[in-house]
Amino acid sequence: MLKKIVCVAIPGMAPFEFGVICEVFGIDRSEHGGPAFDFHVVTAVPGALRTKIGFDIVVRDDLAAASDADLIAIPAYEAGSEIHPDVLRVVREAERRGAWVLSVCSGAFILGAAGILDGRRSTTHWMYAEALALAYPNTTVDPDVLFVEDDHVVTGAGTAAGIDAALHVVRRELGAAAANVIARRMVVPPQRDGGQSQFIQAPIPEQRSDSFATITDWMLQSLDQDLTVDQLARRALMSPRTFARRFRAELGTTPTAWLNRQRLILAQQLLEETDETLDLIAAQTGFGAASVMRHHFVRSLQTTPTAYRRTFGRRRTAPDYAGTVPGGPDYGVVARKTSPEPAKVSVPSSGVM
């Protein structure tokens, strides 16, 4: 269970990304049916830390609280300065005991310096993906996605993608409804998955008629139907090729991937909040059969519908987060390899923020 969260403050860190970690994990939302974490901000050398913007943040606690944390979170920082060896030690120890490790944006360079990205997939801000791959060639860097989870190590892309990565961890540990309480309070969408593209070509359409809001609203109301790209294109008055191209440009993913994502979200909600059979849920969500739904759960969420209901269903003894809009996890998992402990490491100066 995700209870104790430790954010490691780094000299030269970016205030927004640091704030994302504090916002997701540092606020007691139990009054609204959400989680309340045991949240700590620590640093290697307590005192005033200069941020990337130029003002100081005073951190009074050292790294002792990190020894039994369920999650170690590393914000973005201004690269080029030497990383304190105790920070690298804390990250390595967390990974070894099976705790979650989360980095936002350039924080991935610290995970790389600690050696825990070796044999794993990872990501960072698209501007710095090449630098990360060059500095740590034993990790497979995906420059396009919002975040990557690989065996409890989560690397997030730039800035706002840190919200998606952090909510992913909450969702994986506490269920979709818990993540949705946080997302609703933050006024952010809870449903962006890791595989969505970092770079959306047309986030603000020039004309409202060009927006996909109408067609996506209809898709959400029609998840129980067998929706094809050809059918969606006809409804949008476009050719299938144009529809697929413009859908990805505006929403950052393909129509089929978006549909499967929304079906998983709805299935998670129904598994958490109802006692309906798997076959009925599969029919209501457009998967058709329980076996097909199970395939998508295992591929995307690394669990089965039955196991998900057992963990997050309404009969569980954990806090009840019901009454929220649906949400869900996602990005693929690959096998990890054991990596040697690096010596004292400086993150390469590459302009990373």
Q: Both 31 and 172 in a single domain?
A: yes
Question: In the predicted model, what is the mean pLDDT of residues 307-317?
Answer: 75
Give the pLDDT band of residue 345 (cuts 50, 70, 90).
Answer: very low
- Domain coverage including residue 91: 4-186
Identify the weakest region by mean pLDDT among 109-123, 206-220, 278-292: 206-220
Whole-prediction pTM: 0.71
Q: Is the pLDDT of residue 353 over 80?
A: no
Instruction: For the chain, give the percent of residues with pLDDT over 70.
Output: 82
- How far, rounded to the nearest angstrom, does the alpha carbon of residue 190 sit from its chain's CA centroid? 10
Token pair 């830390």: residue: 49
Report the amino acid identity of residue 12: G
CATH number at residue 304: 1.10.10.60
**pLDDT score recorded for residue 349:** 43
CATH number at residue 88: 3.40.50.880
- Domain for residue 34, yes or no? yes
Q: Is the pLDDT of residue 278 over 70?
A: yes
Q: What is residue 118's DSSP assignment?
A: T
Q: Both 246 and 129 in a single domain?
A: no
What's the number of domains the chain is made of? 2
Q: Both 174 and 114 in a single domain?
A: yes
**pLDDT score recorded for residue 160:** 87
Q: Is the pLDDT of residue 38 over 70?
A: yes
Q: Both 9 and 86 in a single domain?
A: yes
Q: Both 99 and 42 in a single domain?
A: yes
Q: Is the pLDDT of residue 191 over 90?
A: no
Which region holds residue 235: left if phi is over 0, alpha if psi is between -120 and 50, else beta? alpha
Report the amino acid identity of residue 71: L
* Position with higher pLDDT, 199 vs 217: 217
Q: Is the pLDDT of residue 145 over 90?
A: no
What is the maximum alpha-carbon separation in the chain?
61
Domain boundary among 186, 202, 227: 186
Question: In the predicted model, what is the mean pLDDT of residues 151-180?
Answer: 91
